[in-house]
Chains A and B, each alone.
Chain A
Amino acid sequence: ESGSTDFRKRVSTLFKNWYQVCEVSGANETACSEYVLHLYQTGLLKGDDTTESFFRILLELSVAHCISSEEISSGAVQSPQQAQSPSFLIIDIFAKLVFSILKYFPEQESSSKFFLLSEIMAVTVRSIQKDAEDKKASLSPRPYFRLFINWLLDLCSLDPVTDGANFQVLTAFANAFHALQPLKIPAFSFAWLELVSHRSFLPKLLTVNGQKGWPYVQRLLVDLLQFLEPFLRNAELGGPVHILYKGTLRVLLVLLHDFPEFLCDYHFTFCDVIPSSCVQMRNIILSSFPRNMRLPDPSTPNLKIDLLPEIVEAPCILSEVDAALKANQMKNDVEEYLTSRQHDTTFLSELKLKLLVSSSEASSAGTRYNVPLINSLVLYTGMQAIQQLQQAGETGAQNVVALHMFKYLSVELDTEGRYLFLNAIANQLRYPNNHTHYFSFIMLYLFLESDQVVIQEQITRVLLERLIVNRPHPWGLLITFIELIKNPRYGFWKHGFIRCAPEIEKLFESVARSCG
Chain B
Amino acid sequence: LGIDLTSLGLNLNSTENLHKTFASPWSNEPSKDDPEFSVPQCYYAK
Contacts and interface: CB of A to CB of B under 8 A. Distances in A.
B1 A468 contact: yes
Nearest to B8: A250
- Residue with the highest number of chain A CB atoms closer than 10 Å, among B5, B14, B25: B25
A280 B6 CA distance: 13
B25 A193 contact: yes
A279 interface: yes
A199 B8 contact: no
Nearest to B20: A199
A305 interface: no
Interface string A219-248: 000000000000000000000000100111
A251 interface: yes
A413 B17 CA distance: 45
A340 to B, nearest CB: 43
B25 A194 contact: yes
A258 B36 contact: no
A315 interface: no
A403 to B, nearest CB: 33
Interface residues of A, number: 30
A279 B2 contact: yes
Contact of B19 (A247, A254, A281): A254
A290 B2 CA distance: 24
Interface stretch (A79-87, A344-352, A360-368, A469-477): A469-477
A4 B1 CA distance: 60
Given A202-B19, A257-B17, A250 B25 contact: yes
Given A199-B31, A249-B8, A469 B2 contact: yes
B3 interface: yes
Interface string B16-34: 0111111011100001000
Contacts of A193: 25
B36 A157 contact: yes
A119 B2 CA distance: 43
A200 B1 CA distance: 33
Contact of A203 (B8, B19, B26): B19
A356 interface: no
Contacts of B20: 199, 203
B25 A197 contact: yes
Contact of B24 (A194, A248, A258): A194
A39 interface: no
Given A202-B19, A203-B19, A248-B25, A470 B2 contact: yes
Contact of B5 (A157, A190, A279, A471): A471
A483 to B, nearest CB: 24
Contacts of B14: 257
Given A194-B26, A199-B31, A199-B35, A257 B10 contact: yes
Contacts of B36: 157, 199-200
A253 interface: yes
Contacts of B38: 157
Contacts of A250: 8-10, 22, 25
Given A257-B18, A258-B19, A470 B25 contact: no
B17 to A, nearest CB: 5
Contact of B8 (A200, A246, A468, A471): A246
A157 B14 CA distance: 26
Given A199-B20, A199-B21, A253-B8, 9 more contacts: A199-B36, A200-B36, A202-B19, A248-B25, A249-B8, A254-B19, A468-B1, A470-B1, A472-B5
Interface of A: 157, 190, 193-194, 197, 199-200, 202-203, 243, 246-251, 253-254, 257-258, 279-281, 283-284, 468-472
9 contacts: A193-B25, A199-B19, A199-B21, A249-B8, A250-B9, A250-B25, A257-B14, A258-B18, A468-B1
- 5 tightest A-B CB contacts, nearest first: A280-B2, A247-B25, A469-B2, A470-B2, A203-B19
